[in-house]
Amino acid sequence: MNITVVGTGYVGLVTGTCFADIGHNVMCVDNDARKIDMLRKLKMPIYEEDLEDLVRKNVEAGRMHFSTSINEGTDFAEVLFIAVGTPPGYRGQANLSYVEQVGRQVAEHMTSYRLLVEKSTVPVNTGEQLKRTVTKYLREDIPFDVASNPEFLREGTALKDAFQPDRIVIGVESERAASLLRNIYEPVVKRSGCELLEMNMASAELTKHASNSFLATKISFINAVSRVCELAGANVEQVAHGMGLDHRIGSRFLNAGVGYGGSCFPKDVDAFVHLSDQLGYNFQLLREVQKINQAQREHLMQKIQHELWVIENKTIAVLGLAFKPGTDDVREAPSLYFIPQLLEAGAHLRLWDPIASPKFEEIHPGLDYRTDIMDTVQGADLVLILTDWPEVRDIDLDKLKDAMRTPVMIDGRNIFDPKSVREKGFTYYSVGRP
Ligand code: UDX
Ligand code: UDX
């Protein structure tokens, strides 16, 4: 089947690549000519493991095409997936102007039936608004459908999540739309054995926001428990392990640390709170989830302050700029909180990340970016770990201690075993562990 995917960010590019790889003919459209130019040269605008190889394979097989023109995308396929950004707008409300713009452009150009599928995370009832927009801008009475098919792709494992999803959710209003989406996903369902759930559009939209908000709640819950653990002399890892073995709770997303970041959780929780407000429900629980997430960063900052006493003129090595390992994405990353604060306090910073430094540098140019961990920590008064990269896990602690001026480690990801690090002579602070 021919499919157009509008937006070649993490979501659009991974989704388009997956569709091509299961045999569909895919046109990826983006209004950023630089990105399309890169993709045509088989250069990836984002880092995601194995993505480049898979794009190359499908381009060479003639199943993947790139364009900057929505009109071309509208002509190309009966089904268009909308995967443009939905960044936070005014007071936490999702900014849907890009989604609206795509709806408008498709409506003005289409000459026969089209199915517009919302792939980006959008507030409930966006589908309805999109329908109104398309109806308004259609030049004649052409049939169309709008559907919701939320993405559940984690950066770093996005391709795996696309090919082997836990579930596929489609929100549809007609049998025609349902049947098109069932056909598109048939190879994924067959290979992975996952369920394809059909529901109405509002339910599909809410499933996405509720899922991400629940996962964020799980993280904030364990982070709150970590604070109690610190006060009670308990170990949050042992508590989380003990909780997680209960199948009703589950062990995943119970890692305490510096708090969640990324392009989705902070924005989606914000949007869900805002949307609930608009509908007339005060989602107090999620407001608290947000506060706990922020407090976790502030708490770690206090540990730095407490240990160094005076931050001014101290050399701090920051390990990890990405919001999680396996990606070069720094959107809402903890590093964006710590680095400006430490700079303001007068610290000399050395920054290390295996792949995210260029993206961080776009926001904070002119800082001291390093490519080698040992070079980064040489002569440092303190090491601050913000991302659990494998390279950080594998650090030779003896060499690290020898390289530093004073062996102080603040571990925002609970990477090391407190006892063995302290035995090596480090002053070591982590999250929720004695
Ligand atoms: C984004 C959201 O952040 C996420 O919550 C949602 O589920 C999907 O969309 P991501 O793919 O990471 O995820 O976004 P981003 O990297 O910003 O990519 C969006 C792409 O759309 C960009 O390449 C941008 O150039 C493109 N775009 C944006 C268009 O092609 N047309 C527009 O009008 C606006
Ligand atoms: C998320 C959703 O999981 C995915 O389904 C899709 O909707 C996009 O958004 P992503 O943001 O890529 O994926 O990363 P995820 O693995 O969910 O982690 C989000 C943040 O939570 C990261 O900053 C991570 O470090 C943090 N996290 C995760 C914790 O602090 N503790 C945990 O136990 C798990």
Question: At residue 167, what are phi and psi to the nearest 5 degrees?
Answer: -165, 160
User: What pLDDT is attached to residue 77?
Assistant: 98
Residue partners of 315: CB distance under 8 A and separation at least 6: 347, 348, 349, 350, 379, 380, 381, 382, 405
153 lines ligand 2 (CB under 6 A): yes
Residue 92: its pLDDT value, please? 67
CB 49 within 8 A of CB 86: no
Neighbouring CB atoms inside 10 A of 119's CB total: 24
Question: Which distant-in-sequence residues (6+ apart) come within 8 Å of 386 by Cβ?
Answer: 258, 318, 319, 320, 321, 333, 334, 335, 338, 412, 413
- The pLDDT value recorded for residue 86 is 87
Taking the centre of ligand 1 as the mean of its atom positions, its distance from the CA of residue 147, in whole angstroms, is 18
User: Do residues 290 and 273 lie in contact, with contact meaning Cβ atoms separated by under 8 Å?
Assistant: yes
Task: Provide block-wise average pLDDT over 10 residues at a time, the chain (434 residues).
Answer: 97 98 98 97 94 98 98 98 87 84 97 97 90 95 97 95 97 98 98 97 94 98 98 97 98 97 93 92 98 98 96 98 96 97 98 97 97 98 98 97 98 96 97 94
Nearest-CA neighbor of 66 among 47, 48, 85, 45?
45
Ligand nearest to the backbone CA of 126: 1
Going from the Cα of 157 to the center of ligand 2, the distance in angstroms, rounded, reads 11
For residue 208, the ligand closest to its alpha carbon is 2
For the Cβ of 323 lying below 6 angstroms from any atom of ligand 2, the answer is: yes
Pocket of ligand 2 contains residue 364 by CB under 6 Å: no
Q: Determine which one of 18, 28, 229, 264 is catalytic.
A: 264
What pLDDT does residue 362 have? 97
DSSP 46: S
Q: In this structure, what is the dihedral angle of CA atoms 193, 199, 203, 204, given to the nearest 10 degrees?
A: 50
Q: Measuring CA to CA, which residue among 324, 3, 13, 45 is closest to residue 159? A: 13
The domain segmentation of the chain, as residue ranges, is: 2-199, 209-289
Alpha-carbon gap, residue 287 to 282, rounded angstroms? 9
229 is catalytic: no
Closest ligand to C-alpha of residue 336 is 2
Strand partners, 4: 27, 80
Asked whether 212 lines ligand 2 (CB < 6 A), one says yes
How far apart are alpha carbons 69 and 89 in whole angstroms? 26
Contact 328, 355 (CB under 8 A): yes
**Ligand 1 centre distance from Cα of residue 369 (Å):** 27
Ligand 1 atom, smallest distance to 11 CA: 11
Alpha carbon distances (Å) from 176 to 23, 38, 116, 120, 182? 21, 36, 12, 22, 10
Q: What separation in Å is there between the alpha carbon of 29 and the centre of ligand 1?
A: 11
The domain made up of 209-289 has a fold known as N-(1-d-carboxylethyl)-l-norvaline Dehydrogenase; domain 2 (1.10.1040)
Distance CA 377, CA 382 (A): 8
- CA 276 to chain centroid: 22
Q: Residue 87 has what pLDDT?
A: 83
In the numeric block, which tokens belong to residue 154?
């984690």
Task: Tally Cβ neighbours within 10 Å of residue 79.
Answer: 23
CB 9 within 8 Å of CB 2: no
CA distances (Å), origin 299, targets 176, 243, 413, 432: 53, 24, 14, 11
- The model carries a pTM of 0.94
Radius of gyration of the chain, Cα coordinates, nearest whole angstrom: 23
Q: Which CATH class is domain 2-199?
A: alpha beta
Which residues are near ligand 1 (CB < 6 Å)?
Answer: 6-12, 30-32, 35, 83-86, 98, 101, 120-121, 151, 263-264
